[in-house]
């Protein structure tokens, strides 16, 4: 069964950067998108960005452009979310999720989710 395994809890100070990881264990295919979604405590879901594992093509929410980078390591099937200039409002649960291919086209939905990484930003 395909799974997305995320890195552990992070605690950072304001102004710092963080790099979260998401490993696509047991993925037998090489072409897929990984998306990053976050959820502040008690709040809703917020899409941040995504990357195509095969091509490296990425896209970002305008809200985070300039402060976020999504990358991947094809040898380990791992996607990364790097967020810089951290502020307290970045304290949230961060999910990675995969987008499936449906009948040869990208599905534009998220069918498999990682188990979540909690990021706390505090001085």
The residue ranges that bind another protein (CB under 8 A) are 35, 37, 44-47, 59-63, 95, 97, 102, 107-111, 113-116
Residue among 23 and 114 whose Cβ is closer to another protein: 114
Helix, strand or coil, per DSSP, at residue 90: helix
* Alpha-carbon gap, residue 93 to 117, rounded angstroms: 6
Residue among 16 and 118 whose Cβ is closer to another protein: 118
Q: At closest approach, how far in Å is the CB of 82 from another protein?
A: 18
> If you ran DSSP here, which 8-state letter would residue 13 be given?
-
Closest to 119 in 3D by CA, of 14, 9, 20: 9
Q: At closest approach, how far in Å is the CB of 96 from another protein?
A: 10
Residue among 16 and 93 whose Cβ is closer to another protein: 93
Residue among 75 and 89 whose Cβ is closer to another protein: 89
Q: At closest approach, how far in Å is the CB of 57 from another protein?
A: 10
Tokens 């980078």 belong to 69
Q: At closest approach, how far in Å is the CB of 86 from another protein?
A: 22
- Phi, psi at 89, each rounded to 5°: -70, -10
Is residue 20 within 8 A of residue 9, CB to CB? The reply is no
């Amino acid at each position: 069964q395909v799974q997305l395994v995320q890195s552990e809890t992070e605690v950072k100070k304001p102004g710092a950067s963080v790099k979260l990881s998401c490993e696509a264990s047991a993925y037998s295919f090489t072409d897929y998108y990984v998306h990053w979604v976050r959820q502040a405590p008690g709040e809703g879901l917020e899409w941040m960005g995504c990357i195509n594992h095969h091509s490296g093509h990425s896209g970002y929410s305008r809200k985070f452009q300039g402060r976020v980078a999504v990358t991947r390591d094809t040898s380990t099937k791992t996607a990364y979310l790097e967020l810089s200039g951290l502020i307290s409002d970045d304290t949230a649960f961060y999910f990675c999720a995969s987008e499936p291919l449906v009948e040869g086209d990208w599905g534009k939905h998220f069918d498999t989710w990682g188990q979540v990484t909690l990021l706390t930003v505090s001085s």
